[in-house]
């Protein structure tokens, strides 16, 4: 049987696209075809189960990649409009991050599925699309286990490579690449970064407020305030997550530079450390910085700045030592050793490029195919930007796909 529209991928953008298409053309038959045994698994894990589904301020600098996500988001219904249509009340925190009032991602998925069921959208779960072939009047999809489904139009919403346990392994992106679609270089976005273990020895478990800047050589690429976190071999925290895409963009030449006292000038810091030299003259270097930082960070910075045994007395510090410690606190550099594995990433930068799609999110290459969500070459920062892109692009792709059906 030839269905009107098949959506490949039952994630945030695919479910939205199906709803948008069906609301635009209620008479059309719409099926969501999902590889896993249920739709929306990734939605459930977003925002630590709370689903940070949008952000009050969406700006160009929050998105990366060739597709102009903010332009689409601005012209489509806001998160408030979309979710009030699903009966979901929203609330924003002080940083502008928007969540469902329930504080539960499960309520978002339930509301989407309720709407789909009311509209008569079909879910075809356990169908992993492995081939797409052009047939008369449309396309035939073949699943990994040999089943087929056909439709006049396709909406491709199969996501990227991030978090493969939630169904996304990049297979559909590769499938379309093999059909001639151009894709931008793929790399993890919103992800931790690998560090050189010897460079962060002693910092495991430390979380510290800082102003973090990313450099390639001496070129400043990005800076933001936040909390950096350390494991034995990784750097994480939201400010690190937001810089992950820069590792691939700069061919692996990336240094993260933490200012651990961003609100204190170097001169004031040196003055303070000189006072500490007097006040704690009877103590060992182990306690030189414990008035400023937690023990592990204090010891790490002292060791790295002074490179001498911590059993020595604070009174032995020279003015030069004080300046070195102040300089390190203001400019502590960590070289990025690599991108994190896909299972630790929340998003994918790279994907089908802007040159392959029209402003309606239709394929320029093949009639009747539309794209939305993470499969396209855009990735947002941490803070609700990726889900907002999924809703907005899904809404646009669904509507335009439905409008392209005649009659």
Ligand X SMILES: Cc1cc2nc3c(=O)[nH]c(=O)nc-3n(C[C@H](O)[C@H](O)[C@H](O)COP(=O)(O)OP(=O)(O)OC[C@H]3O[C@@H](n4cnc5c(N)ncnc54)[C@H](O)[C@@H]3O)c2cc1C
Residues that bind ligand X (CB under 6 A): 8-14, 33-36, 42, 45-47, 51-52, 128-129, 157-159, 162-163, 167-168, 171-172, 346-347, 373-374, 384-387, 390
Write down the least CB distance from residue 85 to ligand X, Å.
18
Write down the least CB distance from residue 129 to ligand X, Å.
4
Write down the least CB distance from residue 267 to ligand X, Å.
40
Q: Are 269 and 326 in contact (CB under 8 A)?
A: yes
Task: Give the helix, strand, coil percentages of the chain, each rounded to 5.
Answer: 35, 30, 35
Q: Are 405 and 4 in contact (CB under 8 A)?
A: yes
Q: How far apart are CA 293 and CA 208, in angstroms?
A: 8
DSSP strand E in 20-178: where?
Answer: 30-34, 54-55, 63-64, 90-92, 97-100, 122-125, 129-135, 138-143, 148-156
Write down the least CB distance from residue 357 to ligand X, Å.
14
Write down the least CB distance from residue 384 to ligand X, Å.
5
Q: Where are the alpha helices (DSSP H) in 179-279?
A: 238-241, 245-249, 266-279
| Nearer CB in complex with ligand X: 264/354 | 354
| Nearer CB in complex with ligand X: 47/138 | 47
Provide the 10 A C-beta neighbour count for residue 322.
21
| Nearer CB in complex with ligand X: 4/169 | 169
| Nearer CB in complex with ligand X: 145/263 | 145
| Nearer CB in complex with ligand X: 109/317 | 109
Write down the least CB distance from residue 47 to ligand X, Å.
3
| Nearer CB in complex with ligand X: 34/259 | 34
DSSP designation for 381: P
Handedness of CA 282, 286, 287, 288 (dihedral sign): positive
Q: Are 226 and 184 in contact (CB under 8 A)?
A: no
């Amino acid at each position: 049987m030839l269905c009107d529209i098949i959506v490949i991928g039952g994630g945030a953008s695919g479910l939205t696209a199906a709803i948008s298409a069906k609301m635009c053309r209620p008479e059309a038959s719409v099926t969501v075809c999902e590889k896993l045994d249920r739709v929306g698994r990734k939605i459930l894990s977003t925002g630590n189960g709370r689903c940070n589904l949008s952000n009050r301020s969406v700006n160009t600098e929050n998105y990366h990649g060739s597709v102009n996500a903010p332009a689409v988001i601005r012209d489509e219904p806001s998160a408030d409009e979309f979710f009030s249509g699903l009966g979901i009340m929203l609330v924003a925190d002080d940083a502008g991050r928007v969540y469902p009032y329930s504080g539960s991602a499960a309520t978002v998925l339930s509301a989407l599925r309720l709407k789909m069921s009311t509209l008569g959208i079909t879910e075809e779960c356990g169908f992993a699309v492995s081939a797409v072939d052009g047939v008369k009047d449309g396309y035939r999809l073949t699943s990994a286990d040999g089943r087929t489904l056909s439709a006049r139009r396709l909406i491709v919403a199969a996501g990227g490579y991030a978090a493969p346990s939630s169904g996304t392994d990049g297979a559909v992106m590769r499938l379309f690449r093999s059909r001639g679609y151009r894709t931008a270089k793929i790399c993890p976005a919103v992800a931790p970064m690998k560090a050189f273990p010897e460079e962060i020895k002693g910092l495991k478990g430390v979380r510290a407020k800082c102003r973090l800047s990313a450099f390639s050589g001496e070129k400043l690429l990005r800076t933001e305030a936040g909390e950096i976190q350390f494991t034995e071999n990784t750097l994480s925290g939201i400010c690190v997550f937001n810089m992950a895409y820069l590792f691939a963009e700069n061919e692996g030449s990336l240094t993260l530079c933490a200012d651990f006292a961003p609100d204190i000038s170097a001169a004031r810091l040196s003055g303070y450390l000189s006072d500490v030299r007097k006040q704690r003259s009877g103590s060992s270097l182990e306690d030189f910085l414990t008035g400023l930082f937690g023990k592990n960070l204090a010891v790490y910075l002292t060791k790295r700045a002074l490179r001498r045994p911590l059993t020595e007395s604070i009174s032995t510090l020279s003015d030069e030592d004080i300046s070195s410690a102040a300089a390190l606190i203001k400019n502590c550099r960590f070289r990025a050793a690599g991108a994190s594995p896909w299972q630790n990433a929340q998003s994918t930068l790279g994907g089908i490029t802007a040159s392959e799609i029209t402003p309606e999110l239709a394929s320029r290459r093949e009639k009747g195919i539309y794209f939305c969500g993470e499969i396209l070459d855009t990735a947002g920062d941490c803070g609700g930007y990726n889900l907002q892109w999924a809703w907005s692009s899904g809404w646009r792709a669904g509507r335009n796909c439905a409008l392209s059906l005649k009659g």
